[in-house]
Structure 1
Amino acid sequence: MEIRYASHPNEVKSFDTSRLRKEFLIESLFTENQLNLTYTHVDRFIVGGVLPVNGSVKLDADKKEMGADFFLERREIGIINIGGAGTVTVDGTSYDMETKDCLYIGLGAQDVTFSSKDSSSPAKFYFNSAPAHKQYPTVKASISEANPKHLGSIANSNERTIYQFIHGGGIQSCQLVMGLTMLKPNNMWNTMPCHTHNRRAEVYFYFDMPEDGVVFHYMGEPQETRHLVVRNEQSIISPSWSIHSGVGTSNYTFIWGMAGENQIFDDMDMVAMKDLR
């Protein structure tokens, strides 16, 4: 498990590209038959990925860093499959996961394993985890069961659909909010006009990008913006004080996860375009 510490916005102003990438970009999430975990002190979020090719991979706790006997002893988790068909088994109950299916697992589940249906087309499970204080039931939802919100326009190059999985009106959780956004062809911008939300942090995970495609992800305080070049299947940690927006060289899909003080999706501090610097 890699550990990332929180950074003050005044400090981030002086970061060069290398330091920005080291602090906020997660470049590698999928290694065959291995659990990859990044623990950030930003709202104590854990970002992870697992690519089970042969057999199953267990969701193990890092006892030294987490101080827990099992991963979900004091946590909840949201999982979205971005690869081939797979299975997540939770305390003996199996949940078949097609691409873009979501599974929420609540506090207290002890034995969680990941596997693929076909090793030649393995599943890729991306997940977000946050601390939890109450147990909610394990729930699976396909993308057709998510709550869709259609936003943007082709005129602004940001026509997209937001699919809400874990949220106040959908799968219930303690504090985790999670879903994915799909941009329509010929649209490149996400979350612009941009916003911050001081009551919760957010993590983006970009995927469904061509091999030579990139997203220029914008972060920082609205008057001190910075950018990071993000490639396919990479993730960005966004502290509560930072904007989180991006433009790609083509359309793409991204998973967003939030954790913090409240779960109200529309609780945002909007930033006027004229105020960006």
Structure 2
Amino acid sequence: MLHVETRHAIHQDHARTMGTADLRKHFLGEGLFQAGQIRLIYTHYDRFVIGGAVPAGAPLTLDKVAETRTATFLERREMGIVNIGATGTVSAGDESWQMETGDVLYLGMGAGPVTFAGEGRFYITSAPAHRTFPNRLIRIGESNEIRLGDTATANKRVINQFIHPLVMESCQLVLGYTTLLDGSVWNTMPAHVHDRRMEAYLYWGMDEAARVVHLMGEPQETRHLIAANEEAAISPPWSIHAGAGIGAYKFIWAMAGDNVDYTDMDFVQPGEMK
């Protein structure tokens, strides 16, 4: 079963007037991982798509999506898939890949229908593409690893870059994930914005009762979302993104826009935020 929700772009002046319910309606992705379903959110931020596929014993195929008005979803798109569950399989064309927890699969433009099977819980990201790059399964040992932060500021973390110029080529999709180390809770602090790209976060690996306070909004007009495990935050180009969580957690970050330069960001120090 396929379910697609469209999220229109929100201007920052509009976001300033929103209460909790409206902020969650427009910027939080809930219930993406439902057994036997593919659930997508089609955003008007760089036409970026996020979603989840949970085969739960029966294969699921992502083929035609009415919102793109193309013969197949990947006809003019590229895709990044992260398996956040147990062992599963993804197939496209005449290729098939077994994915373990934490593996990332890149599918290039024109890969055709995509089938998900096995015990995986597959996080889907997709952006428009202008040329075809080779399909590639990337395991964590092949990612580019960066260690940042300090225990004194509670933001010691490991960043693994997968779909990234240092690892492989893509059109505009950039993807990886960040793991907070024991005793650290703050992600991406100091916060930053990048007006040239949108970004989406999927919080992952959290206890059922745990939550992350995801900070968003303009630097001097901050807002927040309370996010549970396997919930996503959609971050417009004008918004900061940072957060603090209860206990261990990870987040998958994925971006699309004018460039694939991971370092193209404008930092906002805590003293500048309100």
TM-score range, shorter chain: over 0.9
The question of whether the paired residues in 2 share the 8 Å contact of 1:104 and 1:171 is answered with: no
- Find the counterpart in structure 1 of residue 68 from structure 2: 66
Tell me what 1:90 maps to: 92
Structure 1: distance between partners of 2:68 and 2:141:
35
Give unmatched runs, 5+ long, in structure 1. Answer: 117-121
Q: In 1, distance between residues paired with 2:33 and 2:113? A: 21
Is 1:276 matched with 2:239? Answer: no
Moved over 3 A (4+): none
Matched pairs, number: 271
Q: Report whether the alignment pairs 1:156 with 2:158.
A: no
> Residue type of the partner of 2:252?
I
Q: What is residue 28 of structure 1 aligned with on the other side?
A: 31
User: If the length of structure 2 is used for normalisation, what is the TM-score?
Assistant: 0.98
Q: Deviations over 1:66-114 (max 9, x none)?
A: 1011010010000000100011111021101000000000000112101
Q: CA deviation at 1:272?
A: 2.0
SS in 1 for 2:224: strand
2:116 aligned residue:
114
Contact 1:146 1:164 in 2 (8 A): yes
Residue 243, structure 1, aligned to residue 245, structure 2: no
Q: Is 1:175 the equivalent of 2:177?
A: no
* 1:211 equivalenced with 2:208 (yes/no): yes
Aligned to 2:54: 51
Contact 1:51–1:123, Cα closer than 8 Å, also in 2: yes
Point out where structure 2 has 5 or more consecutive residues left out of the alignment. none
SS in 2 for 1:19: helix
Measure, in 1, the Cα distance between the counterparts of 2:36 and 2:207.
Answer: 24
Residue 172 of structure 1: how far off its partner (Å): 1.2
| Paired position in structure 2 for 1:119 | none
SS in 2 for 1:206: strand
Q: Does the alignment pair 1:191 with 2:188?
A: yes
**Structure 2 contact 162–175 (Cα < 8 Å) conserved:** yes
TM-score (norm 1): 0.96
Task: For residue 14 of structure 2, give the secondary structure of its aligned residue in structure 1.
Answer: helix
Q: Is the 8 A contact 2:63 2:112 kept in 1?
A: no
Q: Over residues 2-56 of structure 1, what are the superposed CA-to-partner deviations in whole Å (9 max), with x where a residue is unaligned?
A: 0000000011000000000000000111111211010010111000100111221
For residue 250 of structure 1, report the CA deviation from its aligned partner.
Answer: 1.3
Letter in 2 for 1:216: V
Distance 1:25 1:50 in 2: 18
% identity of equivalent residues: 49
Q: Distance in 2 between matches of 1:21 and 1:273?
A: 24
**Amino acid of the residue matched to residue 170 of structure 1?**
V
